[in-house]
Amino acid sequence: MDRLLTRQLKRTVGDGPWPPAWDAFIRLVEQTYREHDADRRFSEHALETVSAEVTQMNEQLRLKVRALEQLEVEMRQSQKLEAVGQLASGIAHEINTPIQFVGDSISFVQNSLVQMGTLQRHYAALTTAVEHNGSEPMLAQMAATIRRAEEEADLEYIIENVPQAIVRSQDGLQRVATIVRAMKGFAHADTTDKVLADVNKGLSDTLIVADNSIKYIADVETVFGDLPHVRCFAGDLNQVFLNLLINAAHAIEDVVGTTGDRGRITITTAVDGPWAVIRIADTGAGIPESIRERIFDLFFTTKDVGRGTGQGLAIVRSIIVDQHGGTISFDSVPGRGTTFELRIPIDGGMNDQ
């Protein structure tokens, strides 16, 4: 390339003889070009090296992001299991109580059937004696035996209460079935894709799961709007609802303590344009102004050890904002309570894709 440059200069200024200054100028131009060409080749090599390093760093970053995403999934699952674990004794109690009176009712029906069987045999014997023209003294004796058996069995009580015992058993089994269905709905295994889900039913199922932690300290009011099915990760939304409901129960418990007073949790759902809006309000202690900016920070908690790990609200924000493209906000008055508002795109954010 430098020779081409020399020939071009000769064509421009002629073939000489050249003044010494021209020779020096041509050598300077050739040296400058060679240095520039070397710099260019060095720059291309450096660029290729940097590009390879950037590609490698991007791959490492992609692997780290994937690991963090998996860690987040595991953390959410761990927090869900922790929440269910904390509720396990209450759920067991909720199931055990109806099972117990189902068992008592079945025992009563069983004993009643034994006594009815004894009476039936006496009636059959009396019927046979009548059919065979038994003597009057024998018939009278058999009738007296039947009357004693009826008194011992308390026949009127059996006739009146056996149907009620069966109804109680049916009610108890229905209660157990309701709890099991709610647990199944709450533990809904999410797929990698969002699905259409009934948010109102998810709230109802979660209330059943959390009932034992709420019913002794608060009354629950639900005002469910006519929500269409929402495209979402249903199991993760149920986890959001559980975290907020348990937080509300704890906030109310901090106020009522052991006084016997009761608080209130109000759950409302509505449609606002493209959004499904869920509000969970409580009459608890409220959130102090000094910590409001930190309540969504991971591992931040004001609860005693064993009552909270500081993951709940951080996971709530992650699920609503990061997973669903929604928003979460709250309004709190110390001493009067807190209202959390969730907004989730009904279409799952498909219009933003």
- List pLDDT tens digits, range 58-111: 777 777 777 766 666 666 666 666 666 666 666 776 777 778 878 888 888 888
Selected residue with higher pLDDT from 131 and 138: 138
DSSP code of residue 133: T
Whether 123 has a pLDDT exceeding 70, the answer reads yes
DSSP code of residue 330: E
Domain total for the chain?
2
Q: Does residue 158 lie in a domain region?
A: no
Where is the domain boundary, 65, 86, 111?
65
- The arithmetic mean of pLDDT across residues 153-159, rounded, is 75
- List pLDDT tens digits, range 214-257: 988 999 999 999 999 999 988 889 889 988 998 899 999 988 88
Which element (helix H / strand E) includes 269? strand 263-272
Where is the domain boundary, 30, 65, 100?
65
Predicted pLDDT of residue 310: 46
Q: Does residue 160 lie in a domain region?
A: no
Q: Does residue 103 lie in a domain region?
A: no
Predicted pLDDT of residue 50: 59
Give the mean pLDDT of the chain: 77
Q: Does residue 257 lie in a domain region?
A: yes
- Cβ neighbors of 250 (< 8 A, separation 6 or more) are 284, 303, 307, 308
Say which range, 48-52, 247-251, 317-321, 327-331, has the weakest mean pLDDT: 48-52
Same domain, 352 and 207: yes
Q: What residues are paired with 280 via a beta bridge?
A: 267, 340
Predicted pLDDT of residue 220: 95
DSSP code of residue 17: P
Predicted pLDDT of residue 305: 44
Q: Does residue 100 lie in a domain region?
A: no
Same domain, 52 and 200: no
Please report, for the domain that includes residue 256, its CATH number.
3.30.565.10
CA 192 to chain centre: 15
Q: Does residue 74 lie in a domain region?
A: no
- Comparing CA positions, the residue from 112, 109, 116 lying closest to residue 169 is 109
Domain of 39, in residue numbers: 2-65
- The arithmetic mean of pLDDT across residues 178-195, rounded, is 72
Q: Does residue 338 lie in a domain region?
A: yes
The string of DSSP codes covering 284-333 is: S----GGGGGGTTSTT---SPTTT--S-HHHHHHIIIIIIT--EEEEEEE
Whether 137 has a pLDDT exceeding 80, the answer reads no
Q: What residues are paired with 54 via a beta bridge?
A: none
Predicted pLDDT of residue 268: 97
Predicted pLDDT of residue 181: 78
Read off the pTM.
Answer: 0.62
Q: Does residue 275 lie in a domain region?
A: yes
Selected residue with higher pLDDT from 351 and 297: 297
Most confident of 16-30, 65-79, 110-124: 110-124
Where is the domain boundary, 65, 92, 120?
65
